[in-house]
Every structure is written in C-alpha cells, then in structure tokens.
Amino acid sequence: MAPLATVILPVFLVVGVGYLARWRGWMTDSGIDGLMKFAQDIAIPLLLFRAIATLDLGRDFDGPLLLSFYCGALAGFLAGLTGARLLFRRDWEESVAIGFIGLFSNTLLLGLPITERAYGADALTSNYAIIALHAPFCYALGITAMEIARAGGTSARALPGKALRAILSNALVLGIGAGFLVNLAGIALPAVLTDAVDLLVRAGLPAALFGLGGVLHRYRPEGDMRVILYVCAISLLLHPAITLGLGRVMGLSNEALRSAVITGAMAPGVNAYLFANLYGVAKRVAASAVLIGTGLTMLSATVWLSVLP
C-alpha cells in the first residue's frame, strides 16, 4: 500500500491545491477555465504528439493484448452509456459523456507508475503499446457517439462527415495524428522546436490536475453520488475483469496480462473531464469520478495486484 500511496497522493495534492485556490478566491472561475483550455487545447495535445512521434510503433503491438484491453474498455463505455440512460434517466448527450468516463482509464498518470513499481521498468513495453492507441481509440469512439447523440435532424448520409469533421477538429486528435505523421515519415524535428514543445508538455498534466481541483469546487457531487460510484465501479472492476478473462482465454503471457489488467483497472483519467468539458455536459460527474476513482484505486489496485500471476 505504501508504494501506491506515494504514486497517488501527489495527484491528490495537486488537485487539492487547485481546489484550495478556487475556494479561497486566489483564482476565479474564468481563470480556472482558461487554465483548462490551455491544458486541453495546447499542452496535452503536444504531450500526445511527442509521445507518439518518438514511440517505436513496431514494437510489441500484440493483437490479443490490445483486443483484451480494448474489449474491456468498450464494455465500460457501453455499460456507462446504457446505465446512465436507463438507470439514471440522463439525456443522450450526458449518457455519452458518462460512458466516456467508463471508457478512459488513467493509463499514463497511474497505470505506468503502478505497473513499474509492481513489476519493474522492463514490464512497461505492453503499457506503451496500449497507450499509443488509447487516446485515438477513445476519442474517435466518444466523439462519434456524441455527434450521433447531437445529430437531431441530421440525415444518416450527412452524419459520418459531421462526425469526422468533429473528430479532426479536436486538438487532442490533431496532436495524435501529427505524432503518427512525424513517426511514420521519419521526420527529424529541430532540437530547438522539441525543447520548446517539451517545456509546454511538462506543464500539461499538472495544469490539468490543478484546474480539475478548481472545477471540483464548482461541481461538487451533490445529487450525483449514485452515478459517480456506478461509473467508478465500471472503471475499477468491470474493465479489468473483462480484460483478465479475455487475456487468459487468448493465452497472453504473464507480462502482457499484468500490464493489460493493471492499466484497465485504473481510475478514470483527467481526459474524462476534458471530454465532458469539451461538450459542456456531465462535468460534475466526470470531475468527481476522477477524484473519487483515484482514491479508490489505492484499494482496488491492491486487490488486482494480488490476483495477477
């Protein structure tokens, strides 16, 4: 438990400072919104760009590994969406955003360090394979579903183009696409450019976490605790359980199975809030699910680590 606490508590502290800054009036709501816009539209897209541009795309892209993880992720999305719609009577747009919470695990901020602490740095190869496809898969699915929910009177013929335009105009997806382009084309970026990008990248996750704390002051989980706990259970229990079952059926190695299950068992990532904020729906649920789910990860990750070989 102590190693997990040292990984997770710093996240809480950054979020807590953001909450304190808004609560004490050191920052305004507009200041918090501006910080989140910086993180969402500039810093985190650049982080994704740099990660994918420098990744070895041909290394350990194991089909069964990816299938077991992403089937679990898809199940989490569908469970979140249908539960929000049928159990909690949310409209379709909110239901899609809640489904996205069940879809998007915190693969980077929690998945990597917990896997490393449990199994060593050499165990991270499968984590990197999952992370390379994580944001493109999740955002393509989430944006497409949201555009369908928002379509209204849009004809079926016009819907694919509308969804594609929304996906391609998303800063996070653009960062991912640019990273793949640079990687596959073998483009060598000037050092002065990459150094500048890296300065912005280092600010991305701390800014998003600090801003999330400010957002939590505005969107307290009043009246939403049932749906918040429901979607946390999807992230912490359903996703890893499906990944574990499929991984065993498909004969994953112990190393790949550990990475897939631990990564799937992580709390909803900050991108769950960024997605909700992007569309202006279910922001209270998303922000609180990130915070509460991160705290519960200290318990659930310990259980999953004890179950894995």
Whole-angstrom distance between the N-terminal and C-terminal Cα of the chain?
Answer: 18
- Tell me the pLDDT tens digit for each residue of 105-147: 988 778 888 888 888 877 888 888 898 788 778 888 998 888 8
- Tell me the pLDDT tens digit for each residue of 84-98: 999 999 999 999 999
Look over the chain and give the mean of its residue pLDDT values, rounded to a whole number: 86
Buried b (16+ CB within 10 A) or exposed e, 209-218: bbbbbbbbbe
Predicted TM-score (pTM) of this structure: 0.81
Residue 21 lies in a domain: no
Residue 18 lies in a domain: no
Residue 237 lies in a domain: yes
Higher-pLDDT residue of 170 and 33 is 33
The answer to whether residue 253 scores a pLDDT higher than 70 is yes
Residue 259 lies in a domain: yes
Tally of domains in the chain: 1
One-letter amino acid of 207:
A
Which domain, by its residues, includes 293?
2-7+29-307
Rounded Cα–Cα distance for residues 80 and 102 (Å): 6
Residue 296 lies in a domain: yes
Find the mean pLDDT for residues 150-156. Answer: 65
- Tell me the pLDDT tens digit for each residue of 28-53: 999 998 998 898 889 988 988 887 88
As beta bridge partners, residue 105 has 268
Q: Which H/E stretch holds residue 220?
A: none
Higher-pLDDT residue of 104 and 2 is 104
Task: Work out the burial of residue 188: count CB atoms within 10 Å of its CB; fewer than 13 is exposed, 13-18 middle, 19 or more buried.
Answer: exposed
Residue 299 lies in a domain: yes
Residue 13 lies in a domain: no
Residue 163 binned pLDDT confidence (cut-offs 50, 70, 90) = low
The answer to whether residue 159 scores a pLDDT higher than 70 is no
The CATH number of the domain where 116 resides is what? Answer: 1.20.1530.20
Residue 82 is predicted with a pLDDT of 97
Residue 24 lies in a domain: no
